[in-house]
Each structure stands twice: as C-alpha cells, then as structure tokens.
Structure 1
Amino acid sequence: MTAPLLDRLAALSAPEGAPVTSPEILADRPDGTVVRSGRTVAKAHAPDGDPQDLAARLRIAAHPRLHGILLPPLPVTGPDGFLTLTEDGRALTRWPYGSPVPPDDPDAAPWEDAARLLARLHSVDPRQLPGPVPPMRGPAKAARALARLRSALTSAGGPLPAPRSPGPRPGSLPAAAAAVERAWALLPPWARGEAPPPRAGTLCHGDLHLGQLVRHPAADGPWLLIDIDDLGLGDGAWDLARPAAWFATGLLAPDIWTRFLAGYRAAGGRAVRPDGDPWPDLEIPARALTVQTAALAVAKAAGAARPLDEIESAVVDACARMTSLPDQLAPAGPVVG
C-alpha cells in the first residue's frame, strides 16, 4: 500500500469533524486494502475492478430488501454516493465496522447463521433491486486463480520443492499444477467463467467463507454478510460450494457440514433440493472451488519456493482424484437432510 492510498483511506474512515489519524490496517492485499478508524472502515477495492459494476453492487447492498442480510455501505462524497475514486481510478468505499468471526474459537463459528443469511439472500427477487444487477463473479475468480498459478510457475522457473509428506501426492509443484490444470479442463465452460451458468437467476454472494461475516453493531449485533465485490446473478449453489468442497476433501467436519446444510434448507434455501442428496446440485461448483483453492495454494508455494503444506496437499489431492474418477468429488456416501 502506498502512502497516498493510506492517506485517502485514513481520511475516508475518519469520523466526521475529527482529526485524521493513522488508522488500523485490517487487510492489505493486491485485491483489496481495508483500514479502520473507530467505528468506520474504508476499503480500496481491486485496481482492475469495474467501478460501474461495483456501484451497482453497492446500491443493492444499501437497498431495503437486503437489510438484515448484507452490511450496508456508508455514503461518501462522489457521483454515485457510495464510492469515490482515486486519481488512478481505484474505487474506495466506506462501511460501518463489524466484529469478525473469532479465528481462535472454531466451535463458535456461525455456520448456521451463514446458511440462513445465504437462504435469505437467494430468496431476494432481483427484479425488485436497482439494476442492472451484474453477474456473480465466482467463476471469473476461479479463472483468475488459474491465471495466477500459470504466472507463478513461469516466474519461479527451475526445479521446485517436493511436498514434505510422502504419499500419492504429485511429487513437485509442477506436477501439482498439472493435476490442477487437468481438473480445471474437466469443468464445464460456465464454471470456468467462459459462459453463462445454466441457472443464473439467483442473487448470490459469490465468495462465501467465514471471513465474510461480521456482527453489527459490533460485539453482539446480528451476523451480516460483507464484501459485495463478487455479488450478482448466478447459480446459488456456488455460495454453498466452498463448505461443500471442504467437507468432501475432509477439511470440514461432517457434523458442521450437516448443520450448515440443514440450516440452509430449514430457512428455505433454493440452491439445492429441499431434501435428500444435495450433491447433484453442488458437484460442479464444489469442483470449481476446489480447483480454485488448489491453484492459489500452488501459486503461493511457488512464489515462496516452498513445498505444499498438509492442507494445500489435500486440495491438490482432491484435484487428482477428480481426474482419475471424473464423476466424483463427493464423499463416498450420500448426504441427506
């Protein structure tokens, strides 16, 4: 983050009439920088983002139909009312601060709350929202993860380290990347961001994980979804696909997955059938999220010239299984409601 950008974010997050001070940096990544001053958060969105699409997403997040589901943005001085631009065209937004999910207390993770919020989001009629509603960006993000993997391997060059643990894992990062590429090639075009999804009429979050929930008001308010950068029309199963993929790869306990799925169904969620095995609805999105996760894991390991760790190896293994048993990522037995 550059000093001018930090200064802009500090001014944006400062309470009205209060002197501008150095804010707390909550996140600083290439795709987004977030700072906090007291009860206000300011965010610099991805430099290559489309401000018009973001403005549409902000209007949706502020709409009364989304109250109690999405954290609403705070107004800023600018032509749209909810975003302003830096001199180089990067979008900046302003938000109320909410308390995140505690990272050191997995038993308190609000899986059922996340499921209920998704069910409510998926029930919103897009025709009642300010439009046009942009497409959900989940598949496009998966495609960018593959591009990042290819770039990282090209930049790394030379031999790369093998995994620390033995077993049926690819023996090097290039071999791991090849397993990811093969799994990617098996996905249908819509899951690779190359065509519209067959079910595209649902308002989706697009990047659901526990880091996308906060309590607002902070500390003890209700849980709300945050980060609307990928919000839009698509297949609602994509929002369930990350926990589904974690469950299928052994990274999420079966009882947690069962609670999450049951909470979604009980709240009237429409992305999966109301009972029985949900996997026919989740298979393709879960594969895509697994490939995305594996691609980013291999890219990060290549950039750091280190082996894959145990969790990274698990998702690469899942990609390898997809290519050897292309009709199954799902667990061995059906998951019923």
Structure 2
Amino acid sequence: MPIVSALQATARGSVHRDPGSCVCGAGTLADRPDGTVVRHGDTVAKAHAPGTDPADLRLRLTVAAHPALAGVLLPPLRGAAAPLHDRLVTFWPHGTPVDPDHPEHAPWEAAATLLARLHTTPLRPLPQALPPMRGPAKAARALARLGATAPGHPAARPVRDAWRTLPPWARAEAPYEHARALCHGDLHLGQLVRHPARSGPWLLIDVDDLGIGDPAWDLARPAAWFACGLLPTEDWTRFLTAYRQAGGAPELAAPDPWPALDVPARALTVQTAALAVSKATEAGRPLDEVEVAVVDACDRMVRVPTELGSESAK
C-alpha cells in the first residue's frame, strides 16, 4: 500500500473505532521525501522520513509535550511514534496555517516571540541528552541533492562555491561547540499554526529538526531573505524588534545582530539556492525570479565576502 493511502487509513483509525464507517475522508497536506502528512477531521498524521532515529524523535516529542513549552510548541496527541511500513508516524491536532496568499498578514511578531521563548527555555527540566538542532544537516542534504540532480547546471557552481566558504560546523562537518539553547532548526512561516483552529494563539510545529544549537539559525532564513531583497525592510524590522522585546538570545537582541547572524544566514541562502536549482532541474523549467535572486546572492558571497551581512542589511 502506498504510504499516503496507508497513512490515511492510520489517521482514520486514530479517530474512529470503525474506520470503515467514516464518510468524512482524509486530505493530503504534504507528500515529500522528508515527510508525508495527512489530515482526518481534527487529527493530523505525519509519516517521518525513512531512517528517522526513533530515540531522537521520542526525545523531541517529549519536549513538544513538556509543560515548559506550553504555548510555544504544538503538543502531540500521543507521546510516542507508531511504526508504519518503514516509517515512524506521529499524531497532532490540526491547526490553521499561515495564509500564503496574504503575506501582508504574516505573523512575524508572533514567530519572533515564540522563538525568543523557545531560545530562553531553561534546559534543566527538559530531557537530558537532547539531540543537536539539525539545521546544518538539512543544509548539507540540500547540497547533496544539488550534486545528485543538477551537477552540471550553470547555477550550481556559485552555490557550491558559496557552500565552501562556510565554516565546517555550518556544513554539518563538525559539532557546533557553542550550542547552548533549544532551537527549532527549520523556522519559516509554514511552521506556524493557530490552535485551536482560527481562534487560538500561534504555535510552532514540526519537531523533526528541534534540538540544542545556535539560536541564530532560527532567525537566519528571514535574515537571508531580507539580505537578498526578498523580505521587505518593514517585515524584517517587525520580526527583529519583536524578538528583542520578547527577551531573546542576547547576541541577537543586540543593536547589531549581524555578527551572530552572518554565518547562519549565509548557510540558509546556500540551502535555499541549492533546493531552488534542484527543484527547477527536476521540473525541467528555468529558475524563476526569486530563485535567481538567491543564486545571485551566493555568487556575491564568493566575490564580495562581506556582501550578505553588509551595512545595508543591518
């Protein structure tokens, strides 16, 4: 049985004792190599990527359900993952996502406030031996995908060159020695939902990359978008101001956060560009305007090493 069909059946079974009597159906929210997600009623079932470490996932689920993270992370409906074929499945309450068709309503302040609360959560009450935040590993996977799908694409060269300018820890080739805070690891607006649906507060979802790491990584994607000219100044200002006001990590709440943001923002720029080139190649289409912008940013990072974190981006 294909994973989507099996996951839909599992989601129905988690809601109804007699799944065959159900007439409300199930909808597929995402079907990607790194995760398949379906919704059935108010329940969301996620099949995590093949090879997901069960011990690490168990720790991440424990953190998401911990009282110290109430109001920050969406808690799972179950405390343990269930096996399905070669995948691990987790169950979550359904929430209302950010509307991608109305960027003017994007909850930048809420996202920043949630990150500040996450980054300043005391680690002592949480499970010991939490895994590292997987942001650098995710960036490395994007470069591996580029090498597998588009090694000869003209845009691949500046992306690879920019990748080589990053320090080993940002390429997941060495541990980050200064990791000290709980981090989301893959922050973007698709990682926020309102729960209860529509009327509830914004919460962070998706714990696959959650762990101990550098808080700057969680701010790096919007920082990279801003530096590449893809995020308006007013939105970046709203985001950064809200993070500061919520008492986030001191180095990011400083008047000039770019010394802390520079390497993670560069890494997220390279990751975004690598995925853009890979997806365009797989679809047999040229790069669009946004994709060209992030590839151009990689080229500038190599030619002008101070470009991304320049004075204009502060």
Q: TM-score, normalised by structure 1?
A: 0.88
* Aligned position for 1:237: 216
* Aligned position for 1:9: 10
Q: Does 1:281 align with 2:284?
A: no
* Aligned position for 2:56: 53
Q: Post-superposition shift, 1:11? A: 3.3
Q: In structure 2, do the counterparts of structure 1 residues 271 and 23 end up closer, same or farther at CA, with 3 Å as the change threshold?
A: farther
Q: In structure 2, do the counterparts of structure 1 residues 12 and 128 end up closer, same or farther at CA, with 3 Å as the change threshold?
A: farther
CA distance in structure 1 between the partners assigned to 2:276 and 2:313 by the alignment: 28
* Aligned position for 1:303: 282
* Aligned position for 1:157: none
What aligned pairs does 1:245-284 form with structure 2 within 5 A after superposition? Answer: 245-270=224-249, 272-284=251-263
Q: TM-score, normalised by structure 2?
A: 0.94
Instruction: Check whether the contact 1:74–1:95 (CA below 8 A) recurs between aligned residues.
Output: yes
Instruction: Check whether the contact 2:117–2:246 (CA below 8 A) recurs between aligned residues.
Output: yes
What aligned pairs does 1:31-70 form with structure 2 within 5 A after superposition? Answer: 31-70=34-73
CA distance in structure 2 between the partners assigned to 1:40 and 1:95 by the alignment: 6
Q: In structure 2, do the counterparts of structure 1 residues 220 and 122 end up closer, same or farther at CA, with 3 Å as the change threshold?
A: same
| Equivalent position to 2:82, from 81, 84, 97 | 84
Q: In structure 2, do the counterparts of structure 1 residues 10 and 200 end up closer, same or farther at CA, with 3 Å as the change threshold?
A: same
Alignment-mate amino acid for residue 142 of structure 2 = A
CA distance in structure 1 between the partners assigned to 2:111 and 2:68 by the alignment: 18
Instruction: Check whether the contact 1:205–1:231 (CA below 8 A) recurs between aligned residues.
Output: yes
Q: In structure 2, do the counterparts of structure 1 residues 3 and 200 end up closer, same or farther at CA, with 3 Å as the change threshold?
A: closer
What aligned pairs does 1:208-247 form with structure 2 within 5 A after superposition? Answer: 208-247=187-226
What aligned pairs does 1:194-209 form with structure 2 within 5 A after superposition? Answer: 194-209=173-188
SS at match of 1:229: coil
Alignment-mate amino acid for residue 127 of structure 1 = R
Q: Post-superposition shift, 1:37? A: 1.2
Greater mean deviation of Cα atoms: 196-205 or 247-256: 196-205
Q: In structure 2, do the counterparts of structure 1 residues 51 and 85 end up closer, same or farther at CA, with 3 Å as the change threshold?
A: same
SS at match of 1:33: strand
Alignment-mate amino acid for residue 130 of structure 1 = P
SS at match of 2:153: helix
Instruction: Check whether the contact 1:12–1:42 (CA below 8 A) recurs between aligned residues.
Output: no
Alignment-mate amino acid for residue 96 of structure 1 = P
CA distance in structure 2 between the partners assigned to 1:137 and 1:273 by the alignment: 20
CA distance in structure 2 between the partners assigned to 1:67 and 1:60 by the alignment: 10
| Equivalent position to 1:100, from 97, 100, 115 | 97
Alignment-mate amino acid for residue 114 of structure 2 = L
- Aligned-pair identity in percent equals 61
Instruction: Check whether the contact 2:119–2:181 (CA below 8 A) recurs between aligned residues.
Output: yes
Alignment-mate amino acid for residue 120 of structure 1 = R
Q: Does 1:131 align with 2:128?
A: yes
CA distance in structure 2 between the partners assigned to 1:286 and 1:272 by the alignment: 15
Gaps of 5+ in 1: 76-80, 155-172
Q: Could you list the per-position Cα deviations for residues 145-169 of structure 1 after superposition, in whole angstroms to 9, with x for gaps in the alignment?
A: 0000000025xxxxxxxxxxxxxxx
SS at match of 1:175: coil
Alignment-mate amino acid for residue 128 of structure 1 = P
Gaps of 5+ in 2: none
CA distance in structure 1 between the partners assigned to 2:5 and 2:163 by the alignment: 39
Q: In structure 2, do the counterparts of structure 1 residues 273 and 36 end up closer, same or farther at CA, with 3 Å as the change threshold?
A: closer
Alignment-mate amino acid for residue 190 of structure 1 = W
Q: Post-superposition shift, 1:7? A: 4.4
| Equivalent position to 1:294, from 254, 265, 273 | 273
Q: Post-superposition shift, 1:103? A: 1.4
CA distance in structure 2 between the partners assigned to 1:5 and 1:271 by the alignment: 46
Q: Post-superposition shift, 1:334? A: 5.7
Q: Could you list the per-position Cα deviations for residues 211-239 of structure 1 after superposition, in whole angstroms to 9, with x for gaps in the alignment?
A: 00000000110000000000000000000
Q: Could you list the per-position Cα deviations for residues 303-323 of structure 1 after superposition, in whole angstroms to 9, with x for gaps in the alignment?
A: 122211100000000000000
Instruction: Check whether the contact 2:8–2:38 (CA below 8 A) recurs between aligned residues.
Output: no
CA distance in structure 2 between the partners assigned to 1:268 and 1:38 by the alignment: 37
Instruction: Check whether the contact 2:243–2:253 (CA below 8 A) recurs between aligned residues.
Output: no
